[in-house]
Amino acid sequence: MADEMTANVTGRHTPLVTPAQPETLTPLLRDRESVMVYDRSHELRPEELRAILEAARWSPSAGNSQPWGFLVGLRGDDTHAAMVEVLSSANQAWAPSASAIILTLHQVATDEDHEIAYSDYAMFDLGQAVAHITVQARSMGLQVRQFGGFDHRAATERFAVPPHWAVTTGIALGLPGGPDDDAKVPEWVRTRARLPRSRLPLEAFVHSGKFGHTADFLTDH
Ligand SMILES: Cc1cc2nc3c(=O)[nH]c(=O)nc-3n(C[C@H](O)[C@H](O)[C@H](O)COP(=O)(O)O)c2cc1C
């Protein structure tokens, strides 16, 4: 039985999608989703923004290297406007309505003064810091949608990012929008935002004994 399941689940060519079943999760994670429609009138207070960035600050990293950076634009300011310009056209359709856009960076080399040591885990650590941002934001009633669709080279130039840093992803952060905001996004955004969320089953990525073997605790009930 386990081997049959293994054969089925290890090939990612099989479209193994199951409806999301997050009822066992802590509400902070259960109620998280990548929101595409934001409240255009909501403004983040400086203390809220600081709390969200503190979540990144206190996340773990290899050797406490803290190899992350964040460029923050608030809707209406020049940084935000410059960020919107480098977004992919698809992301331009929804991301600007969020209260903030954050571009994330991770360190890719030791700097000239050797003040920052390079870590192989830098991108991993950045990802974890962003996860902490996501959870902190949720605890404050906010949501985020991360995105990779933007011109990384243009962002690097526009924000004068030094060579030992790489612009990595974007985060749209804000209060989920209501029906008025919904009416202001293009139809395709509304449709996409309403698509049911789905996930691979645990058996597709949890292994025991050796890679590809399904763990008993996943099938014993
Ligand atoms: C690294 C990364 C890049 C992503 N890029 C985009 C993007 O460019 N545009 C977009 O609309 N969503 C983007 N997403 C959001 C994913 O599509 C979304 O997280 C996924 O569909 C799962 O949905 P959920 O977060 O609501 O569970 C990205 C997410 C991550 C983590």
Same domain, 125 and 179: yes
Same domain, 157 and 207: no
**Quick one: the chain helix, strand, coil %, rounded to 5?**
40, 20, 40
Q: Is 66 in the pocket of ligand 1 (CB under 6 A)?
A: no
Same domain, 3 and 60: no
Give the mutation target among 92, 145, 168 for probing the ligand 1 site: most ligand atoms within 8 A of CB. Answer: 145
Ligand 1, atom 4: closest residue by C-alpha: 147
Q: What is the pLDDT of residue 220?
A: 76
The backbone torsions φ and ψ at residue 101, rounded to the nearest 5 degrees and listed phi first, read -120, 130
Q: How far apart are CA 103 and CA 168, in angstroms?
A: 7
Distance 202 CA to ligand 1 centre (A): 20
| Residue 145 belongs to some domain of the structure | yes
CATH code for the domain of 109:
3.40.109.10
Same domain, 111 and 176: yes
| Residue 149 belongs to some domain of the structure | yes
**Of 71, 214, 40, 53, which is closest to residue 133 (Cα–Cα)?**
53
Starting at the edge strand found earlier in the chain, the sheet holding 165-174 runs 68-74, 100-107, 165-174, 143-147
Q: Is 34 in the pocket of ligand 1 (CB under 6 A)?
A: yes
- Beta-carbon contacts of 187 under 8 Å, excluding residues fewer than 6 positions away, are none
Give the mutation target among 21, 33, 34 for probing the ligand 1 site: most ligand atoms within 8 A of CB. Answer: 34
Q: What is the pLDDT of residue 89?
A: 98
Q: What is the pLDDT of residue 207?
A: 95
Same domain, 153 and 109: yes
Same domain, 175 and 217: no
| Residue 110 belongs to some domain of the structure | yes
Q: What is the pLDDT along the chain (221 residues), one digit of tens a residue?
A: 333 333 344 444 444 566 666 788 999 999 999 999 999 999 999 999 999 999 999 999 999 999 999 999 999 999 999 999 999 999 999 999 999 999 999 999 887 666 666 789 999 999 999 999 999 999 999 999 999 999 999 999 999 999 999 999 999 999 999 999 999 999 999 999 999 988 999 999 999 999 999 999 998 76
Q: What is the pLDDT of residue 19?
A: 65
Q: What is the pLDDT of residue 13?
A: 42
**Of 206, 163, 184, 170, which is closest to residue 41 (Cα–Cα)?**
184
Q: Is 92 in the pocket of ligand 1 (CB under 6 A)?
A: no
| Residue 180 belongs to some domain of the structure | yes
- Distance from the Cα of residue 15 to its chain's centroid: 23
Q: Is 147 in the pocket of ligand 1 (CB under 6 A)?
A: yes
Q: What is the pLDDT of residue 34?
A: 97
Give the DSSP H/E element, type plus range, for residue 49.
Answer: helix 46-57
Instruction: State which ligand 1 atom lies nearest to the alpha carbon of 88.
Output: 8
Q: Is 151 in the pocket of ligand 1 (CB under 6 A)?
A: no
Report the domain count for the chain: 2
Q: What is the pLDDT of residue 118?
A: 73
Same domain, 106 and 211: no
Same domain, 103 and 206: no
Domain region containing 6: 1-16+200-221
Give the predicted TM-score (pTM) of the model: 0.91
| Residue 21 belongs to some domain of the structure | no
Q: What is the pLDDT of residue 119?
A: 85
